[in-house]
Amino acid sequence: MTESDDGPLNFRSESASLLPGGSGVTLVEESSFCLSDAFGDMDPSRPAGLFVGDLRILSRWRLALNGSSPEFLGSGEVDPFAAVFVQRHRFGPGGESQLLIVRTRELLHGAMRETITLRNIGALQFDGSLSFDVGADFADLFAVKEGRARADAGVPRDSADDRSWRYRHDGGSGRGTELWFSEPVTDLAGAAAFSVRLAPGDEWDVTVDVAAILGGQRVEPTHPCGGLWRGLSPGQRLRRWRSEAPVVDSDSVALVEAVRRSIDDLGALRIFDPEDPERVVIAAGAPWFMTLFGRDSLLTSWMTLIVDPELAVAVLRTLARLQGDKVDPVTEEQPGRILHEVRFGDAVSLALGGGSIYYGSIDATPLFVMLLGELRRWGLVEDEVAAL
């Protein structure tokens, strides 16, 4: 910082202590996940965006006030599927901050909801605009992960009105993205913009739902905006999982914390098949492998038998349902073979088995037999073991 003619206290740049580090925020909920920077923004040139069914349905998501990015104050994950981002408007009267911005984000099944709350903490009325630079490129998950997705590959908006925008992927796949706004929205040079007028001490908020379109049909979130939950919410499921998990008491704080974190991580990796919501399986890892893998799911459920043996039963039942029954050189399917992974791709459903299945694994089939034998050795769920 250098002194100006007005003195050192008139420094106009961001506070160095408030700048975020290089880490971003990762949210996961079943087979959907969202990667953003610490501000909450998503840049298509980076491995970021909202992914549903192995597809990036939102590649650009950047908030601005009066055309400029707010200043970072802090951010953090509230749950594996929810986060809060706190910012402030940098350019108020006399150089003072006037607006506090709180962005609350949560993932729902096949969708993302973000609520932006503006609070006038200044002494003067605020008149301005809040805008989102929006883009959808429908890049494949692995193209994004490996840096092969083009940053300028966003598709033109397909339709719009004052409450919703829609983007459609070319090629007749029926894939797309739909945004729904709780307040009337206008197009400001391609950005979704809202006019805001706030007296001192007043608040204003807007909610944006971003949902995937698969097979030409909008994937309805389990909690539609303004509606009621259909079934258990992600928070309710996670609380139930925590309440039913074993409790470890030890003089070692590190051990207790490791067990607690492991249980939370396992809870976040669980996948609920829409075709059979009571059957819960475990994904291979967040964020890039939020799907069923034969080897990873079998080994993880084996190692967590002491926590929840039902997880192993559900993994075995699901893998048995998807077991190979024919010879296919392309997918390496063979009769009796256990799958390597499920990938959704152009699938019109987020149900397990609704996508493409690859069977090229040397270890998943023997691991299936070994886990089944372990369940029998433990004397657990004998009827299920006998059926399998």
DSSP string, 165-215: EEEE-SSS---EEEEEESS--EEETTEEEEEEEE-TT-EEEEEEEEEEEET
Contacts for 153 with CB less than 8 Å, ≥ 6 apart: 44, 59, 137, 139
pLDDT at 170: 74
- Cα distance between residue 132 and residue 79, in whole Å: 24
- List the end-to-end C-alpha distance of the chain, in Å, as a whole number: 69
* pLDDT tens, residue by residue, 324-357: 999 998 889 999 999 998 876 554 444 455 558 8
Task: Write down the pLDDT at residue 345.
Answer: 55
> What pLDDT score was predicted for residue 347?
47
Taking Cα atoms as reference points, which of 12, 207, 206, 196 lies closest to residue 99? 196
β pairing state of 111-120 and 203-214: antiparallel
CA 123 to chain centre: 38
- Measure the CA–CA gap between 60 and 71, rounded to whole angstroms: 19
The letter for the amino acid at 108 is: L
Helix axes 309-321, 294-303, angle to 10 degrees: 160
Closest CA to 227 of 173, 168, 170, 182: 182
Report the pLDDT value the prediction gives residue 7, as an integer from 0 to 100: 36
What's the CA gap between 1 and 221, in Å, rounded?
48
**Given the structure tokens 């929840």, which residue do they identify?**
308
By CB atoms closer than 10 A (0-12, 13-18, 19+), residue 343 is middle
Q: Which residues, 6+ apart, have CB-to-CB distance to 89 below 8 Å? A: 65, 66, 70, 71, 97, 98, 99, 101
Taking alpha carbons only, the member of 294, 305, 237, 246 closest to residue 270 is 237
The H-or-E segment that residue 116 falls in is strand 111-120
Residues 6+ apart with CB under 8 A from 255: 248
Bridge pairing between strands 356-358 and 341-343? antiparallel
The confidence score (pLDDT) of residue 132 equals 93
Amino acid at 209: D
Low-confidence ranges of the chain (pLDDT < 50): 1-21, 226, 228-230, 347-351
Tokens found for residue 85:
């981002």
Residue in 265, 280, 274 with CA at minimum distance from that of residue 318: 280
Give me the residues paired with residue 133 across strands.
62, 191
Continuous H helices in 11-137: none
Residue 357 exposure: Cα atoms within 13 Å on the Cβ side? 21
The predicted pLDDT at position 221 comes to 60
Nearest-5° Cα angle at 179, 178 to 183 = 150
